[in-house]
Amino acid sequence: MKIATKIEDIQEQITLLKQSSSSIGFVPTMGYLHEGHLTLVSEARKNNEVVVMSIFVNPLQFGPNEDFDRYPRDYERDIELARNNGVDILFLPETGEMYSRDLSTRMSVIERVNVLCGRKREGHFDGVVTVLTKLFHLIQPTRAYFGLKDAQQIAVVEGLVKDYFFPVEIIRVPTVREKDGLAKSSRNVYLSEKERVEAPALHQSLLKAKNSIQAGLRDPQQIISMVSETINNETSGIVDYVEIYSFPGLKELDTLDGEIIIALAVQFEKARLIDNQIITVNAKENKNV
């Protein structure tokens, strides 16, 4: 595995790959790698000659009161995990070089952003598209791999790629979970022992909602109440939001139909966790339950 820390190094490596017309699978991450990230790598491995991973905790996507400073980092461990799991080139840029001067243009997300985490985390997705634009230009990937755990991120990135004709295919990868259903996340380490026992209720509440939809329930408000109630009853976390939209358009729905997302965020003492379910609904099967 090659490690590039300088922009010039990665550009040199990518130029060589482009000369040999190698397909490049790209996995952008913020590190503190877990099985979720490594699943993106193994998906990338299947269809590309070369797999590039980036690890960069992007300051631009954290709000002033968020966890940028204490976001978990362990570069030594990440390097070993990347090396042993099929990464060919690991790009570890320095913040000073990624943002070496004040930006003279600003990227601003205007669709799919005033809902879910976008509404709660002002400027977050502007930071995401800014860093991805830089990374896509540097890496020039054939395909880029994103986890459905961050479903709004995928919706926003698909919009970015379409708007600006990035010649990259965005691949959606299903959420990887712990045995008890908790979505794997770098932030899970911040859960207390008690919170860790409670946290699978997030996934359980979404499965319960999914079952009700499959049984015929179509009223978004009823489903939202059911999910919030389960989380309030079974965890000490505070529900930040439970919302339902079309996916990937993230438009409000009066009744459930087509591809929809139920997504939630729950604030525990030191960790804010998100999860979602994407479900295909057929309105014609509506039964009043």
- Choose between 4 and 157: whose C-beta lies nearer to ligand AMP: 157
Question: Catalytic residue at 34?
Answer: no
**Which sign, positive or negative, has the C-alpha torsion 165, 168, 174, 176?**
negative
- Choose between 70 and 284: whose C-beta lies nearer to ligand AMP: 70
- Choose between 220 and 237: whose C-beta lies nearer to ligand AMP: 237
Nearest-CB residue to ligand AMP?
Answer: 147
Beta bridge partners, 183, equal 177
Residue 95 tokens, joined: 């913040």
Residue 107 tokens, joined: 């990227």
Rounded to the nearest whole angstrom, what is the least distance from the CB of residue 34 to ligand AMP in the complex? 7
- Choose between 218 and 272: whose C-beta lies nearer to ligand AMP: 272
**Cβ count near 266 (within 10 Å):** 26
Rounded to the nearest whole angstrom, what is the least distance from the CB of residue 150 to ligand AMP in the complex? 4
Rounded to the nearest whole angstrom, what is the least distance from the CB of residue 246 to ligand AMP in the complex? 20
Whole-angstrom Cα distance, residue 71 to residue 31?
10
In the three-class reduction of DSSP (H, G, I as helix; E, B as strand; rest coil), residue 54 is classed as strand
The CA dihedral of 53, 57, 60, 66, to the nearest 10 degrees, is 140
Rounded to the nearest whole angstrom, what is the least distance from the CB of residue 21 to ligand AMP in the complex? 26
Catalytic annotation, pick one of 34, 37, 137, 203? 37
Whole-angstrom Cα distance, residue 91 to residue 54?
5
Rounded to the nearest whole angstrom, what is the least distance from the CB of residue 154 to ligand AMP in the complex? 7
Rounded to the nearest whole angstrom, what is the least distance from the CB of residue 120 to ligand AMP in the complex? 17
**End-to-end Cα spacing for the chain:** 55
Beta bridge partners, 222, equal none
58 CA to centre of own chain: 14
Residues that bind ligand AMP (CB under 6 A): 29-30, 36-37, 39-40, 146-147, 149-150, 173, 175-176, 183-186
Q: Which helix (H) or strand (E) segment is 126 a member of?
A: helix 124-139
- Choose between 183 and 217: whose C-beta lies nearer to ligand AMP: 183
Whole-angstrom Cα distance, residue 217 to residue 160?
34
Whole-angstrom Cα distance, residue 128 to residue 159?
12
Whole-angstrom Cα distance, residue 201 to residue 208?
10
Whole-angstrom Cα distance, residue 272 to residue 130?
23
- Choose between 30 and 113: whose C-beta lies nearer to ligand AMP: 30
Task: List active site positions.
Answer: 37
